[in-house]
Structure 1
């Protein structure tokens, strides 16, 4: 029979055998008689474990807060897009643009087409469709979070041309109709 309650619990759980339990109980008795104990070491280890757990909990909490903030920001941007999008856009003109390495085509009226080409309107991703927004709103959205504005013709990307390119002097207009 094991005299130490801890050893009995370890035996019951199957973590140690009888030989190991006797050794633990003898060691505990020896520490009681001599006054030597590892209480200071145990307390230090417990305090260190608590600090590590607290640091992990704080890191997890910070990640959750960041995820929640990002989710709230996305919801606010989607709400801004829905409130300010131009609704009457159907027409006969086609406008093609690239979204996620795919060429997309939208049918719009000539007024919207001209505004897109000039840069006063932009195309934004609206869930599964596309919305047309004023340039000022697009700038505010880009300040908050990137990735919603797909086409912004007001930002002219100056491509570096090769000096030997014979067609460098010929600029292709954005509103070229095929």
Structure 2
């Protein structure tokens, strides 16, 4: 079996120079194909690695979101447990007690004794389950550590400093005074 090159040489249609140039071109073309094939392979490998990196990053973000949601659920469960186990009764509810929640003024009806505990700071108001509950101040502070937006009102009992030159020192404003 004789190659086409040899047949063309015997026929005199091409000379040795042209055959040599053709072989060189063929070799160059072969090298370029090899090189570009490797580049294509590297490009596809890089694309696959990049896609894998993106998938791993997305998985990390989703895991972080799931962890945050689980942590929020755990905090909500802790708060709900603290409120239900330490809930204090409001009494017969004959005295309205006004307090602010954000920009709104809210009102609950409590007994006189409970109102005195609220004013003294022994009880605090906590938003829970669409309503308001009364809990001891210590529990309200623990709830405030976990979710400060849940605690509506904590009155801190501060000693009232009376100035020596105050002309109205003898006239105290009663705590049950309503405007």
What range is the shorter-chain TM-score in?
Answer: 0.5 to 0.7
Work out the CA distance in 1 between the residues paired with 2:111 and 2:131: 17
Unaligned runs of 5+ in 1: 1-29, 157-169
Q: Secondary structure at the match of 2:177?
A: coil
Q: Tell me the equivalent position of 2:80.
A: 78
Any residues of structure 2 matched to 1:120-135 within 5 Å, and which? 120-135=122-137
Aligned to 1:34: 33
Rounded Cα–Cα distance in structure 2 between residues aligned with 1:117 and 1:146: 20
Distance 1:171 1:66, change over 3 A: farther
Which moves more between the two structures, 92-101 or 39-48? 92-101
Give the TM-score, by structure 1 length: 0.67
Q: 1:123 and 1:101, CA in 2 relative to 1: closer, same or farther beyond 3 A?
A: same
Q: 1:118-137 deviations in whole A, cap 9, x for unaligned?
A: 11110001212111110100
Distance in 2 (alpha carbons) for counterparts of 1:101 and 1:73: 25
Aligned residues: 136
Assess, with a 3 A threshold, how the Cα gap between structure 1 residues 95 and 47 changes in structure 2: closer, same or farther.
same
CA RMSD of aligned residues (A): 2.6
**Which residue of structure 2 lines up, in the alignment, with residue 145 of structure 1?**
147
SS at match of 1:43: helix
Distance 1:81 1:155 in 2: 22
Q: What does residue 95 of structure 2 align with?
A: 93
- What is the CA–CA distance in structure 1 between the aligned matches of 2:48 and 2:74, rounded to whole Å? 39
Q: Distance in 2 between matches of 1:32 and 1:146?
A: 70
Whichever of the two has the greater Rg, that structure is 2
User: Structure 1 residue 87: deviation in Å?
Assistant: 2.4
Question: 1:177 maps to what in 2?
Answer: 178
Q: Distance in 2 between matches of 1:31 and 1:139?
A: 78
* SS, match of residue 89 in structure 1: coil
User: Where do 4+ consecutive residues of structure 1 move more than 3 Å?
Assistant: 30-33, 170-175
